[in-house]
Amino acid sequence: MERRSFLVGASALTLAGSLSERSFAQGAGAPEKAKVTLGVGGKPLLYYLPLTIAERRGFFKEEGLDVEINDFGGGAKSLQALIGGSVDVVTGAYEHTIRMQAKGQEIQAVCELGRFPAIVIAVKTEKAGEIKTIADLKGRKVGVTAPGSSTAITMQYALVKAGLRPNDVAFIGVGGGAGAVAAMQKGEIDAISHLDPVIAKLEGDGAIKVLIDTRTESGTKELFGGSNPAAVVYLKKDFIAANPNTTQRLVNAHVKALKWLASATPEQVADTVPGEYHLGDKTLYLRAVKNSLESYSRTGIIPKEGQESVLDMLRKLDPELASAKIDLAATFTDRFVKQASA
């Protein structure tokens, strides 16, 4: 009996040691909160592909996390859920961390997912003859994932650069999937500011003519003058402080997803995501993935010039931010990404 107890105890110690070594190798101890609720605004969009990869490839489970994903109609709604306390973490636009700091809310990004916005502004093909530039959109109806989301903010910035006011168009929330395609096809909107695979589907159908394309580095520089980070993982700073191991494991999973995407083929991506993400046309989805692969972060770290670019954009759009004192260093910490990559 004593020998059996000794062997069981020794086995337990060996197992504990093994788990401890594995946790150390992954850059985190046991998660303080193993069940996590995550908010996202339009999960089928390629803007959020690293999240879907982390989920579908089992990277969250590898990190000992049970992640419940709540998909909202747009990034602004997932931000509201975080502020309201119904989700613990969000994959959403970096710009929200700046906006919330100006409002006295301490939100911090912990991992960059997209280094380019990958947002495309396009007009309905039938109206391309009369809408040739962004300035021609004045008074028109423009579809976005949701008012206040990154697709709307990018559209507003393009309007300001064209000499118009941020609200010189009517913004129509069309969601992040088939509803957005239908809104354009039915003529409910004149133009759209959106993402793949919605854009790829509309392009393939010949339904739109592209005016601005930030899926590439060159297109991003054309609109913003340089780098402009897109999707990130962000949380409340008090959650990070209370749950550093959980935060580290969330970042570990997303970094694994970014590394997987860096060498993945469009076919591998298409086979990994749910079939409904293809919007009924896998060939077009493959084209969309090919167009978007360049946009994902290579390091998970937001460059300083990228942070400054987003702040400059927001200052041009929001009078409250024009004179607000913003500490960009407080909007992003790279310590979790560095640990995940070590």
pLDDT digit string, tens, across residues 258-273: 999 999 999 999 999 9
- Alpha-helical regions (H) of 264-303: 266-272, 282-292
Lowest-confidence pick of 27-31, 60-64, 78-82, 337-341: 27-31
Three-class DSSP category at 70: strand
Torsion over CA: 279, 284, 285, 291 (sign): negative
Name every residue whose Cβ is closer than 8 Å to that of residue 305 and which is 6 or more positions away in sequence: 226, 227
- Which region among 46-50, 75-79, 237-241, 250-254 has the lowest average model confidence (pLDDT)? 75-79
**Cα–Cα dist 109/94, whole Å:** 7
C-alpha distance from residue 317 to each of 39, 76, 95, 153, 181 (Å): 25, 16, 12, 8, 28
Average pLDDT over residues 229-244: 97
**Overall pTM > 0.75:** yes
- With bands split at pLDDT 50, 70 and 90, how would you rate the model's confidence at 27? low
List pLDDT tens digits, range 91-108: 999 999 999 999 999 999
Rg of the Cα atoms in the chain: 21
Burial class of residue 285 in the structure, from the number of CB atoms within 10 Å of its CB (0-12 exposed, 13-18 middle, 19+ buried): buried
Q: Provide the CA 62 distance to its chain's centre, in angstroms.
A: 22
Looking at the chain, the whole-number percentage of residues with pLDDT higher than 90 is 82
Task: Name the average pLDDT for the chain.
Answer: 91
Counting Cα atoms < 13 Å in the Cβ hemisphere of 10 gives 6
What CATH number labels 120-224?
A: 3.40.190.10
Per-range mean pLDDT, top range of 13-27, 176-190, 232-246: 232-246
Domains 8-116+229-288+296-341 and 120-224 share a fold: yes
Considering only residues 4 and 192, tell me which one the structure prediction assigns the higher pLDDT. 192
For the chain, give every domain's residue range.
Answer: 8-116+229-288+296-341, 120-224
Is the pLDDT at 220 greater than 80? The verdict is yes
CATH number corresponding to 8-116+229-288+296-341: 3.40.190.10
Identify the band that residue 327 occupies on the pLDDT scale cut at 50, 70 and 90.
very high
Q: How many C-beta atoms surround the C-beta of residue 96 within 10 A?
A: 26
Amino acid sitting at position 27: G
